[in-house]
Amino acid sequence: MVHVDAALPFPFAFDPATTALVVIDMQRDFIEPGGFGETLGNDVSRLHAIVPTVADLIRLCRDKGMAVIHTRECHRPDLSDLPPAKRNRGTPALRIGDAGPMGRVLVAGEEGAKIIPQLAPIDGELVIDKPGKGAFYATSLADHLAQEGISSLIFAGVTTEVCVQTTMREANDRGFDCLLIEDATESYFPAFKAATLEMVRAQGAIIGWTALFSQLEKAWHD
């Protein structure tokens, strides 16, 4: 067992053999300058800044032989998995499926939907394409985790309050113990990230735990 004593709100223990790292939506359109996220007026440098820490986290988990899973928020090219309520909401300059600066926005196979090269999955790692915010909705993730005997999940990725938090809540309801790595997740809105970290670990880890990457690394080496 690995004991992350510094985790909040109290120590988090996990067995690497029954734990997976889930890296949420580290895609070009959310993170890279010139992508869809920036066209929406977001400061993507905030998200770009966590890339080295996420890379270190992935490397650590790979070195320890732990399962690494990646997700991408994207839709089929015919948009048959895109509910009108998601496509039509609001008055953005670009909608999902429209031609954006890196190809069609959030469409599978387009440049913008790809995971950034620095964090590219390697052979044998599961990549989940998800049409929703949560990675369990309309995907094979639950079946895969059951097959592999996974009972704990460590989370990283973007954005903290949207796809990361939604997936953690889905996982918590399905009985997984969840640890969110604070400096391996980010939001375009600092206050939303801070609030999410607080609400995840409130009321005795009502959704899960949080810890810094250095605290996880130290726990593994102790």
Residue 218 catalytic? no
What proportions of the chain, in percent to the nearest 5, are helix, strand and coil?
A: 40, 25, 35
Which positions from 95 to 124 touch ligand C5J by CB under 6 A, shown as an x/- string?
A: ------------------------------
Q: Cα(14)–Cα(17) distance, rounded to whole angstroms?
A: 9
Question: In the structure, how many helices (H) and strands (E) does the chain have?
Answer: 9, 10
Count the residues of the shown chain that bind ligand C5J, applying the rule CB under 6 A.
Answer: 6
Amino acid at 191: A
Should residue 129 be labelled a site residue for ligand C5J when binding is judged by CB under 6 A?
A: no
**Residues 158/68/137/181 CA torsion (nearest 10 deg):** -40
Would residue 193 show up in a list of annotated catalytic residues for this protein? no
The 3-state secondary structure of 31-99, one letter per residue: HCCCCHHHHCCCCCHHHHCCHHHHHHHHHHHHHCCCEEEEEEECECCCCCCCCHHHHCCCCCCCCCCCE
Catalytic annotation, pick one of 25, 129, 177, 183: 25
Question: What's the min distance (Å) between Cβ of 158 and ligand C5J?
Answer: 5
CB of 106 to ligand C5J, least distance (A): 8
Interface with ligand C5J includes 25 (CB under 6 A)? yes
**Is residue 163 annotated as a catalytic residue, yes or no?**
yes
Q: Does 163 bind ligand C5J (CB under 6 A)?
A: yes
Min dist CB 36 to ligand C5J, Å, is 9
* Per-residue contact flags (x/-) with ligand C5J for residues 52 to 91, judged by CB under 6 A: ---------------------x------------------
| Amino acid in the structure at residue 1 | M
Are 22 and 134 contacting, i.e. CB atoms less than 8 angstroms apart? no
Q: Which residues are catalytic?
A: 25, 130, 163
Residues that bind ligand C5J (CB under 6 A): 25, 73, 158-159, 162-163
